Structures are given as C-alpha cells and as structure tokens.
Amino acid sequence: MKEALLYEKRDDEKIKCHLCNHYCTISAGKRGICGVRENIDGTLYTLVYGKVISRHIDPIEKKPLFHFYPCSKSYSIATVGCNFRCLHCQNHEISQHPKKYIDIPGEDITPEQIVKEAEIAGCKSISYTYTEPSIFFEFAYDCARLAHEKGIKNVFISNGYMSPEAAKLIAPYLDGTNIDLKGDNDFYEKVSGARLQPVLDTIRLMKELGVWVEVTTLIIPAYNDSEYFWRWAAEFIKSVDVAMPWHVTQFYPTYKLFDHPRTPIDMLKRAREIGLKAGLKYVYEGNAPGRGSENTYCSSCGELLIERFGFSIVSTKIKDSKCYRCGTQVDGVGMP
C-alpha cells in the first residue's frame, strides 16, 4: 500500500477523497466508490500501487487515438478498479473486481520497470487504460514522470471523471487522452452511476491544459441513439475545439447488456454525418472496419490522407503534417 494523493482528513477519522468527482467521504476501515482507496486509521491509502493486472503492447489506434503519433506502439497498463459501474463495460472482470471481492490482485511491478519495458519494446508512449486510469493515479503519476524524463509520451484512456485537482497535477506529464462522452445526464446516472457535467468540464480543462484530446461515444441502441443527443455532442465538441476528433463507435453485447443488439451500421453512419455537418473536422466510425469511415481525410479538399483498416494503417499521404495536395495542416500530435 501507498499513501494516496489528493485527500483531506475530516473529524472522527473520516476522509474526503479529492481524486475524482465523486468526492467520496470515507469512514475508517471503508473504501471509496472505486474500491481501491481505503481509509486506514485516518489515512487514505491506494491499494493498487504497483499491482498491475494487465499489460500489453498495443497500436495507438486501438485506444482509439488517430491523431497522436499514428502507427506507433503504446505500452498499455491497468490495475483493477473503477469509479464507474457501466452496464456495458467490456473489461468488467477487472474494473468491477473490487466491488465484488476484498482482495486486490495484480503483478507487483515498479514504475521503473514499466518505463524500462516500454523503452525496450520501442513504444512511443505508455497508455494508462483498460480501467479508469485515475483510480490508480499515484502509480500512473510516478510512471508518467519517469517516462517524461525518457522522452516517452503518456496517454490516459479515461471516463473523464477525474477531479480538476487530479487533472492539473497530471497534465504536465500527460501528452494525450481519449475521453468517453457516453450520453446525456440520464444515461450517466442510470448506466454508469455518475453525472455528465464533470466529464464535460474535464474535456474542456484538458484542452486548456495543453493535452491532446480525442472523444469517443459508444452508441448503444435505445440508450444514447437519438439524433438530438448526437447533434448536442457534436456541438459541444466543436465549442471546445473544431479539430478535436470524435469517434462514434459500434456497441457489441457485453456484461449486463449482453442481450442488447449491436449498433446498426446505418446508425453509426448517421452519427458521423451529423458530426461532420456540425463542422467537426474529423469524425470516425469505430469497431466497423473496411468502410472507409475510419480514414482521415483533408478537412479542406477532402483528399484521403491516412487509410486505415481496423487498428492498422494501410497508407499515408501526409507530408510535414500537411495535406500533400492542398497543403492544409493536419491537426494532431506527432503527425507524419
């Protein structure tokens, strides 16, 4: 165990955690909503420091990040736990583990080992992913600082529910993030056990702090499939940055929505059309490879610039981060 960051002590050995927007008040001997931060005799401890449950080398496109060092490898890690309880979580075995069991599984590993392995593997970045990275914030923070010193980039794949305090603390070492914009407030309350507004605030704040941001909306039929919501989401993203990529992604039945239907392709197509019509430069359909809607096109002349199939890049026609035909700048970080 390691003493947690971002908390304050209250009376009667109670603690208020400032890590995320739940701002849990935790009594002695209890854990927060995430299940991995425990009040022990009036001190808050993180139970997952160095307890890595999953680590893989992934293409950065899998995150998905399409405008952040395309075609690079990212060393991806996670611990158990999450501050959401999404009914459709594809990694529920690890994200929801602490809500069901007392033990905290994981392989003991140090930040130095994580960074060294990423370096040996030739990874351009380390992605804190699979579960919500802010719940293993202390470990991610130590890894990110070491990686930064080595010139390795850091990426959060996040639900966007971290507190402003946490966002400002990690931002100097964070280079990119993909944040889920899941639905309206009713969706967040019923499906994820959270609220919408803090997510919107985090998207804006990360942009203001100089972190490259991409947004993902997993479209679930009958839950967040209204054109009204898609238009609202597109307009919100546009209000933050017209060049912020939006990934509208196909849902596959899983976890507590296992009997729910897969997102129809026509629904993804319509959501993408709405995003582009709203004025967003880059809108992608996810989990539906081979249709051309995962390619990057020039926002000015419409020329195909990056051709993708799934998580693989087939070809690129970008030179010095510009369209080879008309010279328009292609937004992003580490673009060819």
| Same domain membership, residue 260 and residue 153 | yes
| Same domain membership, residue 240 and residue 328 | no
Q: How many residues does the chain have?
A: 336
Q: What is the domain-level CATH number for residue 133?
A: 3.20.20.70
Average pLDDT, the chain: 97
State how many domains the chain has.
Answer: 3
| Same domain membership, residue 161 and residue 209 | yes
Give the integer Cα–Cα distance in Å for 236 and 244: 11
| Same domain membership, residue 332 and residue 277 | no
| Same domain membership, residue 55 and residue 40 | no
Q: Residue 80, Cβ neighbours under 10 Å: how many?
A: 30
Q: Provide the CA 193 distance to its chain's centre, in angstroms.
A: 17
Give the integer Cα–Cα distance in Å for 251 and 244: 22
| Same domain membership, residue 264 and residue 245 | yes
Confidence bin at 61 (pLDDT 50/70/90): very high
| pLDDT value at residue 93 | 98
Sign of the dihedral defined by the CA atoms of residues 107, 111, 116, 121, in that order: positive
Q: Residue 248, Cβ neighbours under 10 Å: how many?
A: 29
Strands 312-316 and 296-297 come out as: unpaired
| pLDDT value at residue 139 | 98
| Same domain membership, residue 76 and residue 14 | no
| Same domain membership, residue 230 and residue 96 | yes
pLDDT digits (tens, 9 = 90+) for 265-308: 999 999 999 999 999 999 999 999 988 999 999 999 999 999 99
| Same domain membership, residue 33 and residue 80 | no
pLDDT of 336 strictly over 90: yes
- Quote the domain boundaries for residue 35: 2-46
% pLDDT > 90, the chain = 98
Q: Residue 148, Cβ neighbours under 10 Å: how many?
A: 17
Provide the total of helices (H) and of strands (E) in the chain, helices listed first: 9, 21
| Same domain membership, residue 204 and residue 163 | yes
Sign of the dihedral defined by the CA atoms of residues 95, 96, 98, 101, in that order: negative
| Same domain membership, residue 15 and residue 83 | no
Task: For residue 176, give the amino acid letter.
Answer: G
Q: Provide the CA 30 distance to its chain's centre, in angstroms.
A: 27
pLDDT digits (tens, 9 = 90+) for 195-223: 999 999 999 999 999 999 999 999 999 99
| Same domain membership, residue 189 and residue 331 | no
